[in-house]
Amino acid sequence: MQILVVEDEHSMAELLKRTLQEEGHQVVLADNGREGFEIARASRFDVIVLDVTLPGMDGISVAKRLREGRNQTPVLMLTARDAPADIVSGLDSGADDYLTKPFSIGVLLARLRAVSRRGAIPRPVCFEIADLRLDPGSRQVSRAGTALNLTPREYQLLELLMRNASRAVSRETILESVWGFDSEVTENTVEVFMRQLRLKVDNREPKLIHTVRGFGYMIREPKEQ
């Protein structure tokens, strides 16, 4: 399996990496929540092992943001917190299982096998809104059968909106998802890119991209209100 381990404690991260590699798995490490989120969002994994207490962004927030972005990779959450409320919070955030520290390696491996068998929820082959079509596999976008020539940033913006069709996406989420947490890009830049995207996508009726005043943007079917 391809496994992402998000753990800030160096000794624990190295132990997990070594143990999993000995079992024949490929392991990618991240030592903070923001880095883990970006890696999980950009690459495909069979399982994510996610610590709760992380610098930059805690594990609960990482899991929530992944699920909000429709990333359904199975998540095994690790934490020293064993109170029922903490476990409920972890599972409600989108984690598939919850393992408290300290734990035995045998139990960890068994839990990983269990969550990996569930697999990710199948993603649609392509996204369609009215006559707008986006294919994540080929990164091709077309409207009414005519190909749209989008820049990489424009494509990322459109894919984010289409993955969240009929839901308002905040400017903050757009900044974090498209430019990254450490970027110095401002909301004014988002507005500039959104105008450019609209010129290409909404150059015909009906208009599909809408501004949600004071919050962000939404893409939706024209019949939806």
Q: Cα–Cα distances in Å, from 161 out to 57, 79, 98, 204?
A: 23, 33, 31, 18
Share of the chain above pLDDT 90, in %: 39
What's the CATH code, domain 127-219?
A: 1.10.10.10
Report the chain's mean pLDDT, rounded to a whole number: 86
pLDDT in tens, 98-157: 888 888 888 888 888 888 876 654 555 688 999 999 987 778 999 999 999 999 889 989
**In this structure, are residues 84 and 61 in contact, taking their beta carbons and an 8 Å threshold?**
no
Residue 43 to residue 212: CA distance in whole angstroms: 30
Residue 19 to residue 2: CA distance in whole angstroms: 14
Residue 184 CB partners (closer than 8 Å, separation 6+): none
pLDDT of residue 68: 84
**Does the structure show a pLDDT above 60 at 225?**
no
**Residue 102: is the preceding peptide bond cis (ω within 30°)?**
yes
Question: In this predicted structure, which of 46-55, 82-91, 194-203 has the lowest mean pLDDT?
Answer: 82-91
pLDDT of residue 35: 92
Computed on alpha carbons and rounded to an integer, the radius of gyration of the chain in Å comes to 19
pLDDT of residue 218: 95
pLDDT of residue 120: 55
Share of the chain above pLDDT 70, in %: 92
What's the CATH code, domain 2-118?
A: 3.40.50.2300
Q: Is the dihedral of CA 20, 22, 25, 30 positive or negative?
A: positive
What the block records as the tokens of 84 is 């029922």
Helix (H, G, I), strand (E, B) or coil at 7: coil
pLDDT of residue 177: 75
Domain with CATH 1.10.10.10 in the chain: 127-219
Domain with CATH 3.40.50.2300 in the chain: 2-118
